[in-house]
């Protein structure tokens, strides 16, 4: 900032105070003075600091630069552990770290062929320089620590320096609101009608579309979203021209068809799904001669229960169709049906190769517990690594899975990319079964293939009998689906409703109930950032009230955390507890069941988040003895923002609880939300499938008039 003061010197007597760091600064010339900052380096003490004085004569640091040689960046074992990298760096060890920050390509040069050395030095710079500086520089925007790490992942360890010169680089990070970069840019003197601002808004809308679940965006919607972002002060024709220019740039991989814009990967994924379905379904199947007799014998021997009509139909239809969909609400015994099918298969076809998988680790473990058959996550099944390389998989047409039957549980959570990968991971002749609850939230990621295939009339069995009829929670969930909730549904055993008058009272009540339930009931919310009851702010608040250790580091010993990406160590969505926490060494996370995983501090910050509160989407595939759900009008804080509590989101949150449900806030939000549907996703998968299958007679009611518009 142009009015900042700056001093060269060193930090002294630094302490953590809540979410801030406080202490003293001894300048090279003059007397020491008090300082305050959101974050400071933990290793380096010699700095150039920039900022302003408060009226209480405390210097607020909003930026600092390291005054240390590159040698101080290296851990003690670096020379022996990475001798080649150390030798390349030797002539530069006395150079200021600033040299490396200004020329980040030097790190690639010095550590070429030694990825471990590269990661070690990069993470050290991020933790000592980039993240603390971003915390101070962007403090007023209240970005979460997770968002700061996403900025570093995208822009590198020189992120703070890059965005000072080009604020709109922040638009490359989908979770950072456009207003952050826009405000910084306008303060830097970038004109409101400048091409760079229009281009930045176009890029931001495109990134939001990629993360919004739809497979395309119409030209008119594209223009209107950019128009709204820019304050409606620019001609739409200018915006349309900028969008067309943007689409022509090859690196954005945007395909334009008429008035529709598609991400290139999604465009072809939908075509590949349709083509592979046609290939798999054309494969002939055979049915055992006395299937019903076998089921009767197994039931008589006590190996199977007396199957209800839908369960029996499901097993019959499995043998009639290469691809089968099985749907059912919570409590209808979907996992049990899979177990019954396995018993029949292993009796009729000894030695058959069966694979089970689910989208999350917890869902896979639950499936394994019910069926007694090994189950794994879909990413593990396909041989995928981190989600950043999710477009690359290791089982495909030329390297198929060794499976006669592949059964996917929680299939409503599977997005188009994974659906495509699953279809191409098996040989023709492999039987595929997708089991799920279509009433849950749509997948994290693009599309909704499970629902699309059901709507098209692919072979589907619906399990209707509820085996938990005594559950007040499931009765409420059913009423939500019917849009017929009233106060009487909330006045029953197992459901506790606690009215509150404000967001602050809701937060206080959440903390009290969380402690009353011995920290065993997670808080489930539909919101993430930029709202007091979103997971980012609510987790920070709950930590400060419940476990205020190491607040400045974001998390500490005793905090519940959730894995946010698939890795070789843990699966996306796994919840654990920090058993030990060491910023300078590895930290230990205890996952269920009795699995300990060690993380470096940078790994912990980039892969884990606090889990006092969890988004509804992240809880899919999991169940808990009880859950706490805050119901407060988001419009109290963010005017004109529509509630995200609607039929499917409410149903998903409610059905995470086995025995007890705690609703805090305004129950009217639940009652009215049950009458609303969420914004439908826009995909072309239905149209792609209809075109591929046209004239085949496989899909019911085939006619061109049924094709979606556009």
Do 466 and 473 touch, CB atoms closer than 8 A? Answer: no
Closest by CA to 526, choosing from 363, 668, 653, is 653
- Helices H / strands E in the chain, number of each: 28, 24
Of 699 and 500, the structure prediction assigns the larger pLDDT to 500
Helices (H), 386-492: 416-424, 449-456, 472-482
Number of structural domains in the chain: 4
83 in a domain, yes or no? no
CA dihedral sign of residues 519, 520, 526, 529: positive
445, 467, 489 — which closes off a domain? 467
Pairing of strands 20-27, 5-17: antiparallel
Most confident range (mean pLDDT) of 254-258, 264-268, 283-287 is 264-268
Would you state the pLDDT for residue 84?
Answer: 95
Instruction: Determine the structural domain holding residue 555 and report its residue range.
Output: 471-675
CA 481 – CA 50 distance, rounded (Å) = 56
Longest pairwise C-alpha distance within the chain:
95
Decide if 481 contacts 503 (C-beta within 8 A): no
Per-residue pLDDT at 393 exceeds 70 = no
Contact 462, 334 (CB under 8 A): no
- Cis check for the bond before 526: say yes or no (omega within 30 of 0): no
- 341-364 pLDDT, tens digit each: 999 999 999 999 999 999 988 899
347 and 293 in one domain? yes
140 plus 240 within the same structural domain: yes
Q: Is the dihedral of CA 80, 82, 88, 89 positive or negative?
A: negative
Q: Give the model's pLDDT for residue 389.
A: 40
- Domain assignment of residue 690, yes or no: no
In a domain, 656, yes or no: yes
Res. 696 pLDDT band, cuts 50 70 90: confident
Residue 394 reports pLDDT greater than 70: no
Both tokens assigned to 535: 């997971």
Residue owning tokens 């593990």: 380
Question: Looking at the predicted structure, is the pLDDT value of residue 645 above 70?
Answer: yes
Two structure tokens written together for 548: 């205020």
Q: Residue 46's domain is classified under what CATH number?
A: 2.40.50.140
Q: Compute φ and ψ for 470, nearest 5 degrees.
A: -85, 5
Rounded Cα distance between 528 and 617, Å, is 11
Q: DSSP characters for 638-679?
A: STTPPP---HHHHHHHHTTEEEEEEEEE-HHHHHHHTT--PP
Q: Does 682 map to a domain?
A: no
Say how far apart CA 19 and CA 35 lie, in whole Å: 14
Judged against a pLDDT cut of 70, whether residue 427 lies above it is answered with yes
Mean pLDDT of 235-252: 82
Q: 461 and 575 share a domain?
A: no
The structure tokens listed for 598 are 């060690």
Residue 265: both structure tokens together: 């990967």
* For residues 246-254, average pLDDT: 77
Q: Around 196, how many Cα atoms within 13 Å sit in the side-chain half-sphere?
A: 13
Q: Are 459 and 324 in contact (CB under 8 A)?
A: yes
**DSSP-derived secondary structure letter, 354:** E
Same domain flag for 325 and 391: yes
Main-chain phi, psi angles of 511, to 5 degrees: -60, -45
Q: What are the structure tokens assigned to 432, written together?
A: 């595929």
DSSP state of 191: -
- Please say whether the beta carbons of 92 and 124 come within 8 A: no
Q: In sequence order, which residues have a C-beta less than 8 Å from that of residue 260 and are 6 or more positions away?
A: 216, 217, 218, 219, 710
Q: 3-state DSSP call for residue 119?
A: helix
Q: What is the CA radius of gyration of the chain?
A: 28
The answer to whether residues 441 and 522 belong to one domain is no
- Percentage of the chain modeled with pLDDT above 90: 61
pLDDT of residue 67: 94
| Residue matched to tokens 């010095």 | 110
Is residue 122 situated within a structural domain? yes
Which residues, in sequence order, are bridge partners of residue 608? Answer: 563
Q: Do 286 and 245 reside in the same domain of the chain?
A: no
Question: Which has more confidence, 469 or 149?
Answer: 149
- Predicted local distance difference test score (pLDDT) of residue 552: 61
| DSSP state string for 428-448 | TT-EEEEEE-TTSPPPSSS--
H helices of 483-534, in order, are 503-516
Query: What is the pLDDT, as a whole number, of residue 252?
Result: 66
Same domain, 331 and 463: yes
Among 163-167, 245-249, 313-317, 562-566, the range of highest mean pLDDT: 313-317
> Domain for residue 74, yes or no?
no
How would you classify the pairing of strands 354-358 and 375-377? parallel
What is the distance, to the nearest Å, from the Cα of residue 566 to the centroid of all Cα atoms in its chain? 10
Confidence of residue 703 (pLDDT cuts 50, 70, 90): very low
In terms of Cα–Cα distance, which of 524, 546, 520 is closest to 533?
Answer: 524
Q: Are residues 441 and 531 in the same domain?
A: no
678 has pLDDT over 90: no
Q: Are residues 274 and 381 in the same domain?
A: yes
Does 463 lie in the same domain as 513?
no
In the predicted model, what is the mean pLDDT of residues 381-390? Answer: 59
Same domain, 273 and 336: yes
Judge if 317 and 449 occupy the same domain.
yes
Q: Bigger pLDDT: 131 or 708?
A: 131
Take residue 113 and report the two structure tokens written for it: 């062929």
Pair of tokens at residue 399: 């390297």
User: Across residues 471-500, what is the average pLDDT?
Assistant: 91
Q: How far is CA 629 from the centre of its chain?
A: 19
How far apart are the C-alpha atoms of 225 and 567, rounded to whole Å? 35
The DSSP annotation for 108-122 comes to HHHTTT-HHHHHHHH
Is there a domain that residue 235 lies in? Answer: yes
| CB-neighbour burial class of residue 598 (10 A; exposed 0-12, middle 13-18, buried 19+) | middle
Contact indicator for 44, 128 with CB cutoff of 8 Å: yes
Domain end call among 244, 262, 280: 262
Task: Give the position of tokens 């939908």.
Answer: 270
Mean pLDDT of 129-140: 92
Better pLDDT: 575 or 594: 575
Confidence grade of residue 622 (pLDDT, cut at 50, 70, 90): confident
CATH number of the domain at 459, please: 3.40.50.300
| Strand pairing class (260-263; 254-257) | antiparallel
In a domain, 103, yes or no: yes
Last residue of a domain, one of 467, 492, 517: 467
Annotate 180-229 with DSSP letters as a single string. Answer: HHHHHHHHTT--TT-HHHHHHHHHHHHHHHHTSS-SEEEHHHHHHHHHHH
Distance CA 152, CA 131 (A): 7
Residue 206 half-sphere exposure toward CB, CA atoms < 13 A: 24
How confident is the model at residue 306, as a pLDDT?
Answer: 92
pLDDT, average across residues 413-442: 95
List, in order, residues 6 or more apart from 219 with CB less than 8 Å away.
Answer: 240, 243, 259, 260, 261
Report residue 559 as tokens.
């905090």
Q: How much is the mean pLDDT over the chain?
A: 89
Q: Which residue has the tokens 């630094």?
A: 14
Report whether 632 contacts 639 (CB < 8 A). Answer: no
Beta pairing, strands 5-17 & 46-53: antiparallel
Q: Looking at the predicted structure, is the pLDDT value of residue 222 above 50? A: yes
A 10 A CB-CB count for 628 gives: 26
> What is the pLDDT at residue 495?
93
pLDDT (0 to 100) of residue 386: 43
pLDDT at 312: 95
DSSP 459: S
């Amino acid at each position: 900032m142009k009015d900042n003061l700056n001093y060269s010197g060193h930090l002294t007597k630094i302490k953590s105070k809540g979410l801030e760091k406080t202490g003293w600064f001894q300048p090279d010339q003059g007397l020491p003075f008090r300082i305050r900052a959101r974050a400071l380096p933990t290793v380096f003490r010699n700095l150039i600091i920039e900022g302003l004085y408060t009226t209480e004569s405390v210097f607020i640091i909003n930026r600092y630069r390291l005054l240390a040689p590159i040698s101080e960046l290296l851990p003690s074992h670096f020379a022996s552990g990475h001798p080649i990298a150390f030798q390349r760096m030797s002539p530069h060890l006395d150079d200021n770290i600033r040299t490396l920050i200004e020329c980040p390509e030097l790190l690639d040069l010095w550590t070429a062929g030694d990825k471990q050395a590269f990661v070690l030095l990069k993470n050290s710079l991020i933790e000592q320089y980039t993240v603390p500086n971003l915390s101070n520089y962007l403090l007023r925007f209240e970005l979460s620590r997770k968002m700061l790490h996403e900025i570093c992942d995208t822009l590198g360890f020189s992120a703070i320096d890059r965005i000072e010169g080009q604020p709109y680089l922040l638009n490359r990070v989908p979770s950072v609101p456009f207003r952050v970069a826009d405000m910084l840019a306008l303060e830097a003197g970038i004109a409101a009608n400048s091409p760079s601002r229009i281009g930045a808004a176009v890029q931001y809308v495109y990134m939001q579309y990629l993360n919004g679940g739809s497979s395309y965006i119409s030209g008119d919607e594209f223009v209107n979203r950019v128009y709204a972002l820019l304050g409606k002060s620019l001609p739409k024709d200018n915006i349309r021209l900028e969008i067309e220019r943007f689409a022509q740039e090859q690196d954005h991989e945007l395909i334009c068809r008429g008035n529709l814009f598609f991400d290139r990967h999604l465009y072809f994924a939908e075509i590949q799904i349709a083509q592979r379905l046609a290939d798999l379904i054309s494969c002939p199947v055979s049915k055992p001669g006395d299937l019903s007799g076998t089921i009767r014998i197994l039931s008589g021997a006590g190996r199977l229960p007396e199957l209800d009509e839908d369960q029996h139909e499901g097993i019959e239809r499995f043998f009639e169709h290469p691809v089968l969909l099985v749907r059912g609400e919570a409590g209808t015994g979907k996992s049990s049906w899979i177990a019954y099918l396995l018993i029949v298969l292993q009796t009729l076809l000894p030695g058959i190769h069966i694979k089970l998988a689910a989208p999350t680790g917890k869902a896979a473990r639950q499936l394994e517990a019910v069926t007694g058959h090994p189950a794994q996550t879909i990413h593990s099944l396909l041989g995928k690594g981190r989600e950043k390389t999710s477009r690359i998989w290791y089982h495909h047409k030329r390297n198929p899975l060794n499976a006669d039957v592949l059964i996917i549980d929680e299939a409503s959570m599977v997005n188009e990319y994974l659906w495509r990968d699953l279809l191409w991971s098996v040989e023709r002749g492999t039987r595929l079964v997708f089991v799920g609850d279509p009433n849950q939230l749509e997948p994290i990621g693009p599309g909704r293939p499970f629902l699309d295939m059901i709507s098209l009339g692919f072979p589907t069995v619906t399990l209707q009998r509820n085996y938990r009829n005594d559950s007040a929670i499931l009765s409420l969930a059913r009423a939500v689906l019917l849009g017929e909730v009233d106060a009487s549904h909330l006045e029953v055993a197992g459901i506790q409703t606690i009215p509150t008058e404000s967001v602050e009272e809701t937060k206080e009540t959440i903390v009290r109930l969380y402690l009353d339930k011995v920290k065993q009931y997670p808080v489930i919310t539909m919101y993430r950032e930029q709202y007091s009851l979103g997971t980012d702010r609510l987790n920070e608040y709950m930590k400060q009230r419940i476990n205020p250790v190491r607040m400045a580091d974001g998390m500490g010993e005793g905090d519940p955390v959730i894995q946010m990406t698939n890795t070789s160590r843990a699966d996306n969505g796994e919840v654990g507890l920090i058993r030990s926490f060491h910023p300078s060494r590895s930290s230990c996370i205890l996952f269920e069941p009795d699995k300990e995983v060690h993380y470096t501090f940078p790994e912990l910050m980039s892969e884990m988040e606090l889990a006092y509160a969890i988004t509804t989407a992240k809880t899919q595939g999991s169940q808990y003895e009880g859950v706490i759900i805050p119901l407060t009008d988001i419009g109290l804080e963010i005017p004109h923002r529509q509630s995200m509590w609607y039929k499917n989101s409410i149903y998903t949150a409610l059905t995470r609880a086995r025995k007890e449900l705690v609703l805090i806030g305004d129950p009217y939000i639940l009652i009215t939300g049950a009458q609303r549907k969420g914004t439908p996703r826009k995909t072309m998968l239905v149209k792609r499938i209809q075109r591929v299958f046209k004239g085949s007679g496989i899909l019911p009611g085939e006619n061109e008039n049924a094709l979606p518009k556009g």
